[in-house]
Amino acid sequence: MRKFTEELTNQVPTRELQPDEYFHESDRLIYCAKCHTPRQGRYTLQGRVFMPPIRCKCQQKLYNQEETKRKLLEKQAEIERMKASGLQDKALYDYTFDKDNGINPEMAYAHKYVENWEDMKANSSGLLLWGNVGTGKSFFAGCIANALLEKGVPVLMTNFSRILNTLTGMHFEDRNQFIDSLNRYSLLIIDDLGIERNSEFALEQVFNVIDSRYRSKKPLIVTTNLTLTELNSAPDVAHRRIYDRILERCAPIRINNRNIRQVNASANLQEAKKILL
């Protein structure tokens, strides 16, 4: 009687069929009416038969598409969080390779740095971008920052004026923790080295940041209006020990002397004249 009941039970679906399903009598499983693949599995565990729901091919395809979309949205959200943390000046969001107007030939090095990031990271290789005011040093560094952030690489682009403002008023232990936190970023970019105040406190903290980064063996990019001659012939020990560490780890690249800000200002003026006149 028990065997007869089991055989009878096996001839009917184990649950109510949905409009897009049918019961396949050959294997006694529920199938999808669209792709004709099972929506039930059959497994035996310790002598008991289990028939849990499974995804048919069309359900699995839809699930995979939704998972791909979800992961993409998660990645985009993570990149936005990283940008919010790493690009402290909102203007830096516009410093991207697609905004490059081709005026600066040295931008080829920025592309190469990003393309070879894993090697740069492994070798703790940084860059020292030097040149006159307005020649595009910050744009060069910002393009690297944005390109690496888009790849999911943690980058912080800041300057010593901002760092010193944060450190001022902190206790000694808190200062150390803050400086150590800068090394959580795979790449640290310090913009406009040399514009910060030259007090004893400022020079000590600048050294601490550079030295901490040096010892972390993580890449550092520095932009400065100082010349290589000025960096190699520092006026005192305090400056020399800062510059020496930078020059040891950062390959110097001179950014051309063409003032891009003046070029852009001239172009904007011409556009304004077209509109107004």
Residue 95 DSSP label: -
Handedness of CA 207, 193, 218, 146 (dihedral sign): positive
Residue 182 has pLDDT above 90, yes or no: yes
Between 275 and 71, the more confident residue is 71
Residue 251 parent element (H or E): strand 250-254
Whole-structure pTM value: 0.74
Are 28 and 10 in contact, with CB atoms under 8 Å apart? yes
Altogether, the residues listed in the chain come to a count of 277
CATH fold label, 87-264: Rossmann fold (3.40.50)
pLDDT band at 84; cut points 50, 70, 90: confident
Structure confidence by residue, pLDDT tens digits, 124-137: 999 999 998 888 99
Every domain of the chain with CATH number 3.40.50.300 lies at 87-264
In whole angstroms, give the CA distance from residue 68 to residue 127: 36
Q: What pLDDT does 143 receive? A: 97
Strand, helix or coil for residue 153: coil
**Segment among 40-49, 71-80, 108-117 with least mean pLDDT:** 71-80
| Residue 47 token pair | 């002598």
In whole angstroms, give the CA distance from residue 164 to residue 162: 6
Residue 90 has pLDDT above 80, yes or no: yes
**Segment among 153-162, 170-179, 251-260 with least mean pLDDT:** 251-260
In whole angstroms, give the CA distance from residue 250 to residue 126: 4
Q: How big is the CA angle at 36 (ends 33 and 39), to the nearest 5 degrees?
A: 85
Residues 6+ apart with CB under 8 A from 262: 134
Residues 6+ apart with CB under 8 A from 25: 11
Determine phi and psi for 205, rounding to 5 degrees.
-75, -35
Kindly give the residue spans of alpha helices, DSSP state H, lying in the chain.
2-9, 57-86, 107-115, 117-122, 137-150, 160-167, 172-181, 200-216, 228-232, 237-249, 260-276
Find the mean pLDDT for residues 135-152.
Answer: 95
Q: Select from 130, 136, 149, 144 the least CA-distant residue to 96.
A: 144
pLDDT band at 172; cut points 50, 70, 90: confident
Residue 203 has pLDDT above 50, yes or no: yes
| Residue 31 token pair | 């199938």
**Segment among 3-7, 22-26, 55-59, 218-222 with least mean pLDDT:** 3-7
Other beta carbons less than 10 A from residue 7's beta carbon: 9
Are 251 and 124 in contact, with CB atoms under 8 Å apart? no
| Residue 150 token pair | 């888009």
